[in-house]
Amino acid sequence: MPHKIYNRLALVLALGLIVWSTLAYGAVHQPIIASIYLGIVCLVIVWIFDGLRAGFRYVRDPIQLPIYFLAFYALIQTIEFGKLSDGFGFSEIARTISLDPFSTKVAALHLLALGLYFSILLVLFDGEKRLRTFALFTGIFGFAYAFFAILQSVLSPTKIYGIYESVFAEPFGSFVSRNNFAAWISLAVAIPLGLLFAGGLKREKLLLYVTAIGLMGVSLLLSGSRGGLVAFAVEILVLILIAYSPKDRRSLKVKIAFAILLAAVIGAGAFFVGGETSLTRIANERGVTDTTTSRSYIWGVTLRIIADSFPFGIGLGAFPQAYARFDANSGTARVEQAHNDFLELIANAGLPGLIFGLWFLARFLKLSRSAIDRTEGFQRGLAAGATAGIVGCLVHSFFDFALHTTAIALLFLALVAVVVTLANLPQMGDDAHPASGKALTRTFRRKRRINPVPAVHRS
């Protein structure tokens, strides 16, 4: 059944939010984040209009629930339970779990927006046609964006678009931080990589995808992000493991050789362009002596925060306030993030955050295994690529705060939506009905009251 106009409009809007958040400095500034919220509200409205015409469709997979539960727990952290005692001339101060209730409410709103985006994206990815559209979108936009990033690194390395200059970080592409750029591009390159390694490409498209992968790989290397380089290497390793088959070792050897050749081409391309790369940063590393920027020092402070606030946490979004209290340097340097998304989640949300995080991870692993085992050809390539990209991003999150950046979070959720769809609809075809997966999608239609036709009496 062809998609209705509102359904198509919703898909364009959902992909448009990925483009806008990426180009608008990664959507880390409040006005831009507000525009993302407005876009998600519009997306929900379009979904409602589509539901009024064709029935309300929704996906029942429980992988969505940890996001909503975490947002709800953030609101619980802002509930007042008594007053703090008088001191230093202040009185009647509300006592809450969160050290910064306002920031925690903002974090709850952000999680709710991401949850709604994810839920609607699951509905929109309802057939192989839609997944092909997303794969094409990822390849084309990733290629064009990588080309722009490389060009800017040569012409205007310190100013984004030649206008905006970041004071506290080193920009790359349109991202304020080169680490965020590397995290985003490692997600974008994952889909083409998966199609390439899993054999989901036709021969006439092979060169195009290799070119796109090569250009995105060069931009990642030129960004100078060591975490991004590790994530990219993990993606290649995951794809080789997925491709491993004891019955077809020759094919495995060919793919390993191809991976080595691809890495050599990317390295040569980065060397040709010139400048600092991830490899040169590793080679020139002397060790960090500044405790205000050392990840090991920040992680140590974060562990002290966890020990002091467990099991309820300090409140989502309240990490800067807590860090200042436990910093041995008396809070002389303001640290916004823990540079480790997992430690920061436990520090902010305590035991509930740990439970929700493990729930999401366990459900994803189960879905990804199902998607890879039950699919073949193009679908298996998509499943392998999306799985590798998500695993790479999670590895990168051990060293940075990738998922705190809105643009990265949106693309991350899009890849998760691909895995969920393929795991629940393994036998999809191009003409798959939107509601063909009974285990995945449910449609709620309003019951219309039919008035009986009055009998016609003849005189």
C-alpha dihedral over 115, 21, 319, 116, to 10 degrees?
-10
Rounded Cα gap, residues 381 and 368, in angstroms = 12
* Per-residue exposure over 50-88, b if at least 16 CB sit within 10 Å of its own CB, e if not: bbeebeebbbebebbebbbbbbebbbebbeeeeeeeeee
What is the sign, positive or negative, of the torsion defined by CA atoms of 53, 55, 61, 65? positive
Measured over all CA atoms, what is the biggest interatomic distance in the chain, rounded to whole angstroms?
Answer: 105
Q: Are 280 and 229 in contact (CB under 8 A)?
A: no
Query: What's the whole-number average pLDDT of the chain?
Result: 83
Q: What pLDDT score was predicted for residue 54?
A: 80
- In this structure, which long-range contacts are made by residues 44-49, counting pairs with CB atoms below 8 Å and at least 24 apart in sequence? 44/116, 44/120, 46/6, 46/9, 46/10, 46/13, 47/6, 47/10, 47/120, 47/123, 49/6
C-alpha dihedral over 189, 154, 222, 381, to 10 degrees?
10
> Out of 194-203, 363-372, 417-426, which region has the weakest mean confidence (pLDDT)?
194-203
List 83's β-bridge partners, or say none: 94
pLDDT at 1 > cutoff 60: no
CA 180 centroid distance within chain = 11
The mean per-residue pLDDT over the stretch 177-199 comes to 91
Question: For residue 184, which of 132, 126, 228, 129 has the smallest C-alpha distance?
Answer: 228
Read off the DSSP letter of residue 439: T
Q: What pLDDT score was predicted for residue 44?
A: 96
Q: What pLDDT score was predicted for residue 436?
A: 39
Q: What pLDDT score was predicted for residue 263?
A: 64
Return the amino acid letter for 213: I
Q: What pLDDT score was predicted for residue 208?
A: 86
> Out of 86-100, 146-160, 167-181, which region has the weakest mean confidence (pLDDT)?
86-100
Question: For residue 75, which of 106, 114, 51 has the smallest C-alpha distance?
Answer: 106
Rounded Cα gap, residues 20 and 31, in angstroms = 13
For residue 313, what are the contacts with CB-CB under 8 A and spacing of at least 6?
Answer: 77, 97, 346, 347, 348, 349, 350, 351, 352, 353
pLDDT at 430 > cutoff 70: no
Rounded Cα gap, residues 282 and 259, in angstroms = 21
Q: How far is CA 444 from CA 53, 103, 230, 261, 303, in A?
A: 11, 36, 45, 51, 47
For residue 343, what are the contacts with CB-CB under 8 A and spacing of at least 6?
Answer: 299, 302, 303, 306
Residue bearing tokens 């200042």: 324
SS3 446: coil
Q: What pLDDT score was predicted for residue 57?
A: 87
List, for residues 258-301, the tens digit of each pLDDT value.
Answer: 567 666 756 665 555 555 555 555 545 544 445 556 888 899 99
For residue 42, give both structure tokens.
């519009």
Confidence of residue 126 (pLDDT cuts 50, 70, 90): confident
Rounded Cα gap, residues 313 and 178, in angstroms = 30
Rounded Cα gap, residues 139 and 46, in angstroms = 26
Rounded Cα gap, residues 158 and 163, in angstroms = 9
Rounded Cα gap, residues 287 and 192, in angstroms = 35
| Helical spans, DSSP H, in 274-405 | 278-283, 295-309, 319-326, 341-374, 378-396
Rounded Cα gap, residues 199 and 258, in angstroms = 13
Q: Are 389 and 161 in contact (CB under 8 A)?
A: no
Q: Is 297 buried (19+), middle (13-18) or exposed (0-12) by CB count in 10 A?
A: middle
For residue 112, give both structure tokens.
């709710």
Rounded Cα gap, residues 371 and 387, in angstroms = 9
HSE (side-chain half, CA atoms, 13 Å) at 37: 15
For residue 294, give both structure tokens.
């050392």
What is the sign, positive or negative, of the torsion defined by CA atoms of 244, 205, 391, 148? positive
Confidence of residue 452 (pLDDT cuts 50, 70, 90): very low
Helix crossing, 226-243 with 249-273: angle to 10°? 160
Q: What pLDDT score was predicted for residue 53?
A: 84
Q: Are 395 and 185 in contact (CB under 8 A)?
A: no
For residue 324, what are the contacts with CB-CB under 8 A and spacing of at least 6?
Answer: 331, 334
List, for residues 200-251, the tens digit of each pLDDT value.
Answer: 677 778 888 888 999 999 999 898 888 888 899 889 988 888 876 555 555 6
pLDDT at 130 > cutoff 50: yes
The mean per-residue pLDDT over the stretch 150-167 comes to 87
Q: What pLDDT score was predicted for residue 459?
A: 33
pLDDT at 458 > cutoff 50: no
